[in-house]
Amino acid sequence: MATKEPFQFEKKFEVLSFQIDPLGKLRWSALGDLMQEVAWKHADSRDFGKTLFDKGYMWVLSRMQIKVHKMPSWGDHIVVKTAGRGIDKLFALREFLVEDAKGNVIAESMSAWLLLDVRSKRPQRPNHVLPPELFSENADPGLLPAKLDPAGEFGKSSELTVRPFDLDMNNHVNNVSYIRWVEDFCISEGVEFKDFLINYLTEAKLDDPISLSLSKQDQGFLLSGTNQNRHVFLVSVK
């Protein structure tokens, strides 16, 4: 997943008490929050973040893979780095790297984003708005996170309802909320993982009922989030 290319932006964080799980480790959803924050800071620093939103566009996360080598603990100091990794058709690729206080790599991630028109919800070509020195138009096709197949027999279901806490400023479920739902479900089912891959398939809104289901795979598990039998997201955990 890692490209070994230089990173373009970084930010330091301390793991705080409200970000940890019952074992005292940073929650996966909290890690997602930190990556999202760094992505926005990077985008704002080059005028393709909030500036685009004010012009009627929005960035939507389509796929993301996170691999954790060692999850940090309460009180640890970490650095989250990010960089654009090019454009693959309509996807803008963004890489993340997390280091501990000694510079050891403890987590890495690759993500694929779509640029949508807020009104029409139609995808726009990201090369029209992204700095070419940060996002090459010839991205390595091997960097795009995999597309998941929903085939399989699912069981172990759980039900939830989208709440205001789950929403972003576009009134859609924030991408980190999906990670939190999966993380909580896996904790309750005793499923541990180090590799997390999510495909965001369709939007979810306030009061939508979401059904989470689990399918055992040759390696790890596949989780499906559906709304009235329509796939909202798919997740592979290993």
Please write the tens of the pLDDT for every residue from 34-52. Answer: 999 999 999 999 888 888 8
Angle between helix 175-189 and helix 28-45 axes, rounded to 10 deg: 160
- Are 91 and 113 in contact, with CB atoms under 8 Å apart? yes
Q: Which domains does the chain have, with CATH numbers?
A: 9-143 (3.10.129.10), 155-237 (3.10.129.10)
Question: Nearest-5° angle of CA 175, CA 27, CA 236?
Answer: 55
Better-predicted residue by pLDDT, 103 or 127: 103
Burial class (CB in 10 A: 0-12, 13-18, 19+), 169: exposed
Instruction: Flag whether pLDDT at 138 surpasses 80.
Output: no
Query: What pLDDT shows up at residue 195?
Result: 98
Query: What pLDDT shows up at residue 227?
Result: 96
Q: What whole-number distance in Å separates Cα of residue 159 and Cα of residue 179?
A: 15
Task: Write the DSSP symbol of residue 89.
Answer: T
Judged by DSSP in three states, 181 sits in helix
**What are the Cα distances from residue 84, in Å, to 55, 103, 182?**
21, 21, 27
Q: Which two tokens stand for residue 8?
A: 């373009």
The pLDDT tens digits for 46-85 are 888 888 888 899 899 999 999 999 999 999 999 999 999 9
pTM of the model: 0.94
Compute the half-sphere exposure of residue 60: CA atoms within 13 Å on the CB side of its CA.
24
